[in-house]
Structure 1
Amino acid sequence: MDIANFPWLTTIILFPIVAALFIPIIPDKDGKTVRWYSLTIGLIDFAVIVYAFYTGYDLDNPNLQLFESYAWVPQIDLNWSVGADGLSMPL
């Protein structure tokens, strides 16, 4: 897969959700392991965000960038579409 065509926004959105599914199976009595796990996942996600926008976002272009669209359930015309513009990029 070409790095320019990698689904960055989908990865940024779904990575913490998938990582959260593992929290209930972490053997932890006092919550310290879950806190460190959550911090690690958050930092990894932040690093992916910084990398994706540093390499794939053009600050001079105010249009929608890093746009992804997938047919999720084509029978009912349900699509997954995400993109970042000048306002949503810093958020």
Structure 2
Amino acid sequence: MPVIRPSSDLRNNYSEISEFCHKYKEPVYITKNGQGDLVVMSIETYEKLVGKFELHKLIDEGIDAMQKKKVRAFKEALADIEKGL
């Protein structure tokens, strides 16, 4: 269940929100005038999320290259590396 807090809590209860984000490694959703506005999370959680995104992007690029026949066998590539090409 997401944690939702009003924007005034950023000002009035920053330490509490920060502690929650670090302890549970979960984001806190911030509302402004009753509407979703921001998501706050620890840097650790953010970096993990970005890392997963980048990994998925690389996997998608690899799948796309395979489908377009733009890849070659690992043994071929390794042989070229060993030859100094």
Question: How would you bin the TM-score normalised by the shorter chain?
Answer: 0.3 to 0.5
Q: Report the TM-score when normalising by structure 2.
A: 0.34
* Higher relative contact order, chain-length normalized (CA < 8 Å, sep 6+): 1
**Larger C-alpha radius of gyration, 1 or 2?**
2
Q: Which has the higher helix share?
A: 2
